Amino acid sequence: MRPAPNSRYPWAVAVVLGLMGCHSPPTVYFTTPVSGDHLHETITVGVRARDRDGAIKHIEVFANGQSIAFSDKDPLNVKWDTRNVAVGGPTVLEAVATDSSGLETRDVANVVIDRGTLPTDEEAIYSLANDGDLAAADNLLQDIWDLGARSSPVHIAPITWTENYFDEYWLFLFYGLRPLADLTWAYYAMNDTRYRDKMMEILSSYLDYDEKRDLNYLTFEDFHTAAFRAMALVNCYGRLSRSHDLAPELALRLRAAILKVAGFLEDPAHFEGNYNHGFTEAAGLLLVATNFPESDRAATWQAIALARLDSLMGTAVDGDNVEVEKSPFYHFYVMNFANEIVLWAQKYGVPISQSFIDKALAMTRYSTYVAQPNGEVPLVGASVELDARRQSRAINEYLGTTDPRFQYTRTGGREGVEPSLRNVLFVESGHSILRSGFGLPGDAYDGQTHILFNVGPYRTKHSHLDGLSLVYASAGQTLLTDSGLFAYDPSPEQAYFRSTAAHNTVVVDGKSQDAGVEHAGSTLTGPDWVYQSGSHRLYNSVLHRRGVLLLSRDLALVIDRLESLESHDYAQTWHFPPEAAVAADVTRATAVDGAEHNLVVLQQALPDQVQAETVRGSKSPLQGWHSPVYGNMTENTVAVFHITGNEATFATLIASGPLAEKVPRIVVDSAAEPWGFRVCKPEAGIALAVALGNLAVDGESVKVVGAEECRAP
């Protein structure tokens, strides 16, 4: 027998409960992780167990005394989300093997959870104020400021407080003092005074500069930055005071700096009341008022902050309880912050209004439907990659208890109540969500088809020029993707990602749409299908009407009709995931994965006059780029179907999952004009007659019935 990796002895020490008799206890050891490992996010826990004279009854694994895994057979291999460990830091994993005689053996792995969250207290509203990363804290000990994936680490010694590296986002993090959260977490989670001392050093340096500096609206006086800086300073002040680490002189200086920021935030000119920034600007002011009640401005600050929060729920969140920026990412961002404000206010007796509480909770409805079956959020508008299931654990659990349908989608169908709607239009935002269903946990849930279809107005500077675009997810992944955010700073690349060409819609004459309003058509639901249509005139002389019909899981039909008195190049544009290889001709585009399995197939029912091309990573003109992470762009393939003339009609069948390997045939049904089709794949059980009338205008109709014959009449 080989020695256990985590023991000084050939096998882990047996702890035998009861009389052993002639039986030998089992043996047990961790295969992964091992003592000394640093862990974060989700990892695999592996345990092996053996018994010489019996059988293993079960294996159980504990983290700091809390059960995290159980198996009635050897080996045990489970996924474990380390974020569920309170605080993080040094953590004891214990594996207990029990044999058929009831004898037990234990093995221990001492590991470090190197990312975590401290429990919030009165000095912190947002959990991110207490989120920490050990690697980032260790870098700061070496004067290396690593502000995340959007920039490179920078060595800064000494700090001059005039630093201007990279972009506006770097300035936002640096002058908002956000890295102090890493040092705060590391000090309290690891109980290592080096992190406290570095925090004190940075705070002292900041105070030395802040007490004599001029205003700088690029750095310190950016409104949003100032709000986060107020939060960071209050958090440091409260925690260090409570642990008796804050010297009286430094406490007085820090208090003065905090009140100075609050005075800045009080000014109405420094409040952005129309979108997401305003929530933090109001919350920062409220946090100072609550933590420094002895200030002669505290009562005034509290009243101003609470009034601003109420006003934001009328300006930054619309009548459908959707954040106004047409970005699913920012909707989750605001929903989480708003509900953290609610929980904090209720805990510490801050008189937040019932209307704010109700509106914050109501934001879960959009979140329930916009999240794709695999948990990812569509990259629509100013969105970056986000897993809706892996948001703040405390907030997700709170929202799940208040909305059982949100609980169902956030847990992938494991808890809560299954939503009953497969077709939901959020009228004010213009986002239509079509689903094939929800299903039970596993592939039955994650593999469902989900379409986000944009039939609403251009709303804010974070909106894209993406009228009538869609995002298609199925078989557990996004198969027709949106472009993503890329960056806020103006550049040719930023302009591309906002452009119409970067989205799954029809581009006219190679130009972008005007900013304006799309009009939602009919929202229809059949026994097995769901449908949404919309129209716009965002190209001056062109009317574009589009209907999206989700026929079943992995099967959808998209109808585009374009009309003008003049001739145009109409380019129906489809963006595939970066890892897909794509081939296209006038009849179809096929995307395959690395194993050459079909991911998704687009089939044109009206190939006459169509010309097809694929583009990948073109720099002139920019096309075929994807940006799930801010500031990063990677090549992806785009299939483009062109028709030139005064009018154009595209009828595009989308097949994914198993149907991408056995693609149904789509043919025109001339007896059901203007838009009649037969969709046929007998061996897959598909034989449908589809008829659409009055596309995206009054009297619109959709009829889907079983076809008696799977051929064109």
pLDDT one-digit tens code per residue, 224-279: 999 999 999 999 999 999 999 999 999 999 999 999 999 999 999 999 999 899 99
How confident is the prediction for the chain on average, in pLDDT?
Answer: 92
Which CA distances in Å does 146 have to 173, 182, 272? 10, 11, 28
What's the pLDDT at 22?
Answer: 58
**What is the three-state SS of 419-480?**
CCCCEEEECCCCEEEEECCCCCCCHHHHCCCEEEEECCCCCCCCCCCCCCCEEEEECCEEEE
What's the pLDDT at 569?
Answer: 97
For residue 404, pLDDT beyond 70? yes
Using alpha carbons, select from 680, 628, 713 the residue that is nearest to residue 150.
628
Using alpha carbons, select from 526, 530, 528 the residue that is nearest to residue 432.
530
Q: Which two tokens stand for residue 53?
A: 């004279």
**Gap between the Cα atoms of 375 and 413, Å rounded:** 11
**Gap between the Cα atoms of 113 and 87, Å rounded:** 9
What's the pLDDT at 669?
Answer: 85
**Gap between the Cα atoms of 80 and 69, Å rounded:** 8
Tell me the whole-structure pTM to 2 decimals: 0.89
What's the pLDDT at 8?
Answer: 35
Residue with token string 């039970």: 440
506: phi then psi, degrees, rounded to nearest 5: -110, 125
Using alpha carbons, select from 276, 279, 304 the residue that is nearest to residue 289.
304
Rg over CA atoms, the chain: 29
What's the pLDDT at 347?
Answer: 96
- State the amino acid at position 589 in one-letter form: A
**β pairing state of 104-113 and 38-39:** parallel
**Gap between the Cα atoms of 139 and 711, Å rounded:** 67
Identify the band that residue 6 occupies on the pLDDT scale cut at 50, 70 and 90. very low
CATH code for the domain defined by 427-662: 2.70.98.70
Which CA distances in Å does 90 have to 36, 188, 189? 10, 11, 8
Which CA distances in Å does 700 have to 182, 377, 515, 644, 671? 56, 31, 26, 27, 18
**β pairing state of 665-668 and 686-693:** unpaired
Using alpha carbons, select from 613, 611, 581 the residue that is nearest to residue 596.
581
CATH code for the domain defined by 124-316: 1.50.10.100
Rounded to an integer, the average pLDDT of 76-100 is: 86
Contact 339, 346 (CB under 8 A): no
DSSP H/E element including 567: strand 555-575
Work out the widest C-alpha separation in the chain, in whole angstroms.
Answer: 95
For residue 711, pLDDT beyond 60? no
484-518 per-position pLDDT tens digit: 999 888 999 999 999 999 999 999 999 999 999 99
Q: End-to-end CA distance of the chain, in Å?
A: 73
**Gap between the Cα atoms of 591 and 139, Å rounded:** 42
**How many Cβ atoms from other residues are within 10 Å of residue 627's Cβ?**
25
Q: Which two tokens stand for residue 494?
A: 């930023």
For residue 42, pLDDT beyond 90? no
What's the pLDDT at 398?
Answer: 94
For residue 301, pLDDT beyond 60? yes
- Within 13 Å of residue 84, how many CA atoms lie on the same side as its CB? 15
CATH code for the domain defined by 14-113: 2.60.40.10
Can you state the angle between helices 248-266 and 223-242, rounded to 10 degrees? 150
Q: Which two tokens stand for residue 255?
A: 């208090």
426 Cβ contact list (under 8 Å, min separation 6): 320, 322, 366, 432, 433, 456
Of 39-48, 302-311, 321-330, the range with the lowest mean pLDDT is 39-48
For residue 479, pLDDT beyond 90? yes
DSSP SS3 for 423: strand
Q: Which two tokens stand for residue 279?
A: 């929530």
**Gap between the Cα atoms of 361 and 359, Å rounded:** 5
Identify the band that residue 686 occupies on the pLDDT scale cut at 50, 70 and 90. confident
Of 101-115, 151-165, 352-366, 408-422, the range with the lowest mean pLDDT is 101-115
- State the amino acid at position 167 in one-letter form: D
**Gap between the Cα atoms of 214 and 224, Å rounded:** 18
**β pairing state of 588-592 and 625-626:** unpaired
| DSSP 8-state secondary structure symbol assigned to residue 469 | -
380: phi then psi, degrees, rounded to nearest 5: -95, 135
8 Cβ contact list (under 8 Å, min separation 6): none
- State the amino acid at position 107 in one-letter form: D
Q: Which two tokens stand for residue 541?
A: 């002389």
**Gap between the Cα atoms of 84 and 63, Å rounded:** 10
For residue 323, pLDDT beyond 80? yes
Domain edges within the chain: 14-113, 124-316, 427-662
Cα angle 678, 525, 555 (rounded to 5 degrees) comes to 45
544-595 per-position pLDDT tens digit: 999 999 999 999 999 999 999 999 999 999 999 999 999 999 999 999 999 8
**Gap between the Cα atoms of 21 and 19, Å rounded:** 6
**Gap between the Cα atoms of 184 and 351, Å rounded:** 29
What's the pLDDT at 72?
Answer: 87
What's the pLDDT at 7?
Answer: 38
Alpha helices in 533-598 (DSSP H): none
Rounded to an integer, the average pLDDT of 345-360 is: 98
424-457 per-position pLDDT tens digit: 999 999 999 999 999 888 889 999 999 999 999 9
Which CA distances in Å does 669 have to 14, 450, 621? 75, 27, 39
**How many Cβ atoms from other residues are within 10 Å of residue 123's Cβ?**
21
For residue 684, pLDDT beyond 80? no
Rounded to an integer, the average pLDDT of 115-130 is: 90
Using alpha carbons, select from 485, 465, 481 the residue that is nearest to residue 473.
481
Cα angle 231, 237, 239 (rounded to 5 degrees) comes to 100
What's the pLDDT at 510?
Answer: 97
What's the pLDDT at 15?
Answer: 42
Better-predicted residue by pLDDT, 52 or 335? 335
